[in-house]
Amino acid sequence: MFDAHRHYGSSMSENALYATSSRYEWELLSSLTPPALGGIGALADNPLPEIEAFEQILKTFPDFQIAEVGLDRRFPEIEQQEAFLKDTLALAYELGRSVSLHCVKEDGRMLSLLRSLQPNLPVLLWHGYTGSWETAQEATKLGVILGYGSRLFGSKLAREGKRLVTLPYALETDFQMGDYSQILWTQIENFSKLSGCTHDELIRNNDEIRTILTHNTSTRRGTGRTPS
């Protein structure tokens, strides 16, 4: 099954979107092999790169998506985070790349930013979504796909049960260490019990989301050289 968001481990060839959170990890993406997908990203726990660095690597590697960027109240200079995210979303829309959104305790600010950029929004996945049902509904009206990870099961959102699959969604492991296969299938099993969907239905849904996240409208092809 396609994993909509994971990180690096002993194997880097699973059917997954591999997210990076700083430019220091970008070079790892060159070692991925299909069906693995690469996603460049930057969070404010490290200095945010210049948007020109994002643009250069995305133009060099047309198969790369953006995963993950966003807003996080735990990190300083939220206004700078918002400005970087706004520039990233505009670039993603221009180049036809999907974006995995990282959001910690800034749901309202995130929705406001997305509304301000309509209708010029790229394909969006709200990574690790555990917010309110009302915010989920508002986000999906903006075309956002909700990413459900293991933290969902301990959140209030889990009370929505079968309603969770009435909105566009994808399952993700957010894997960083451990037995990846076991973590993935535990996620499928737990969400199957919560939502009432069969394993096959969940697998089919995520495969369809892969197609959406990887739709690339850019006409410019890169050189394929290793990112620096």
Domain count, the chain: 1
Structural tokens at position 30:
């060159």
Decide: pTM greater than 0.75.
yes
Q: Could you tell me the strand order of the sheet in which 144-148 lies? A: 3-6, 16-19, 37-40, 65-72, 99-104, 124-126, 144-148, 169-171
Whether 220 has a pLDDT exceeding 80, the answer reads no
DSSP element (H, E) containing 103: strand 99-104
Name the residue range of residue 27's domain: 3-213
Please state the rounded mean pLDDT for residues 85-108.
97
**Residue burial 36-72, b: 16+ Cβ < 10 Å; e: rest:** bbbbbbbbbeeebbebebbeebbbbbbbbbbbbbbbb
The pLDDT-based confidence of 226 (bands split at 50, 70, 90) is very low
CA distance 45 to 145: 25
Residue 219 counted as domain residue:
no
Q: Give 28-68 pLDDT, tens digit per residue.
A: 998 898 999 999 999 999 999 999 999 999 999 999 999 99
Over the chain, what is the mean pLDDT?
Answer: 92
CA distance 1 to 158: 22
Residue 226 counted as domain residue:
no
Q: What is the CATH number of the domain that holds 152?
A: 3.20.20.140
Residue 54 counted as domain residue:
yes
Residue found under tokens 């290793």: 226
Residue 149 counted as domain residue:
yes
